[in-house]
Amino acid sequence: MEIRERILEAAARVYAVHGYRGATTRLIANEAGVNEVTLFRTFGSKDSLFEELARGHADAAVVPDLPAVPVDPERELTRWCRTVLAYLTQHRSFLRKSMSEMEERPLAAEAACRGPHCAGDALARYVEALKAHGLAKPEGETDTAISMFMSSLFGDAMCREMMPGAFPEPAHDAPARYASCFLRAVGVRRRASRKPRTSAA
């Protein structure tokens, strides 16, 4: 692998555990299996290394897309929710660190927020589509519901490991529960499972 990428990945790992101040150049170089001098030759300074790290992380944030034309809201949203939650959970330490450094390194916090922010926008568009297709009630406070839904994913990813018991169990079922609860809140009727030929009145 390119030495540049090896250092960046090592920096991400060390940063996720120790934060910016604790992620010393020695530690990062060691983790990357690289001489510390090489780190400085490659990136110039610790600051610019982390600048690039934040940029890369923001660019790489995957926001799965929701269909423009909703067909099976429960299923589609559960799937989306699972992906977003998995992403947030996987990067929880990194995100926690970045957000906690808001006061000292605001750009890092901003970069960390970009992914989730886009996800929220995608969800809002999806709910508009639900309304447009008569699947969701148009009157509800959907903005509040969306905000609560996104916070739920965020809270689950950030806090579950330190507050077990405060989140839906088992963890694997959480996405379905969040999605179902959200859909009820925006007035989407639950379908009978797995497309029965006729709907029960």
Partner DNA sequence: CGAGAAAGCAAGTACCCGCTTGCTTTCCGC
Partner DNA sequence: GCGGAAAGCAAGCGGGTACTTGCTTTCTCG
**Which chain residues interact with DNA by CB under 7 A?**
3, 23-27, 33-38, 40-42, 44-47
Pick what 100 binds: a copy of itself, DNA, none; C-beta below 5 to 8 Å, kind-dependent: a copy of itself
In the three-class reduction of DSSP (H, G, I as helix; E, B as strand; rest coil), residue 201 is classed as coil
Distance CA(194)–CA(1), nearest Å, equals 46
Pick what 184 binds: DNA, a copy of itself, none; C-beta below 5 to 8 Å, kind-dependent: a copy of itself
Q: Where on the chain is the footprint of a copy of itself (CB under 8 A)?
A: 16-19, 21-22, 93, 96-97, 99-104, 106, 109-110, 113, 116-117, 120, 141, 143-145, 147-152, 154-156, 158-159, 161-163, 166-168, 177-178, 180-181, 184-185
Nearer to DNA, 28 or 150 (CB): 28
Nearer to a copy of itself, 38 or 100 (CB): 100
Pick what 41 binds: a copy of itself, DNA, none; C-beta below 5 to 8 Å, kind-dependent: DNA
Determine if the peptide bond prior to 64 is cis (ω within 30°). no
Nearer to a copy of itself, 8 or 112 (CB): 112
147-172: burial string, b at 16+ Cβ within 10 Å, e else = eebbebbbebbbebeeeeeebbeeee
165: which residues sit within 8 A by CB, 6+ positions away?
none
Specify the residue for token string 């559960």: 78
Pick what 120 binds: DNA, a copy of itself, none; C-beta below 5 to 8 Å, kind-dependent: a copy of itself
Pick what 151 binds: a copy of itself, DNA, none; C-beta below 5 to 8 Å, kind-dependent: a copy of itself
Nearer to a copy of itself, 6 or 13 (CB): 13
Contact call for residues 169 and 160 (beta carbons, < 8 A): no
72: which residues sit within 8 A by CB, 6+ positions away?
191
134 DSSP assignment: T
